[in-house]
Amino acid sequence: MGKAITISLDKKRHLLLDLKAVATFESLTGKAMFYPPAVEKLSEKETIILLWAYLRHEDKSLSLSDVVRIVAGSRIKGSKIGKKLFEAWSLCVRELGEQIKQEVKNNGY
């Protein structure tokens, strides 16, 4: 959970799915981040919360209202924003998978 995905919004920003983003999303939506059925059908509000959680690592002052303003008038689902959110999620899942494989290899599980 360390690589960021670049996205152009109001300016060039970076999406990062880290533990803080996971905790923020899960606490505000009640959905498990790594349980695919829970995140396959996000509402627009949940998608905005997810975007906000991904962006907060580089701008702690960014509010949920700021993100709503940034994406106002944009369609999120099926758009470049939605694709970038999925790309960041996929990258994180791949990285976690590699970490688990390395742990298994190193510890002989």
**Tell me, what's the pLDDT at 77?**
59
Beta carbons within 8 Å of 79's beta carbon, 6+ residues apart: none
Contact 68, 61 (CB under 8 A): no
Assigned token pair, 82 = 């939605």
Domain residue limits at 50: 5-107
**Tell me, what's the pLDDT at 67?**
94
Cα dist from 51 to 28, 77, 89, 101, whole Å = 12, 12, 11, 29
**Tell me, what's the pLDDT at 63?**
96
pTM recorded for the entire structure: 0.80
Stretch 18-38: mean pLDDT: 87
For the segment 63-77, what is each residue's pLDDT rounded down to a tens digit? 999 999 988 866 665
The total domain count for the chain is 1
Q: Who has greater pLDDT, 19 or 73?
A: 19
For the segment 43-96, what is each residue's pLDDT rounded down to a tens digit? 889 989 999 999 999 999 999 999 999 888 666 655 788 888 888 888 888 887
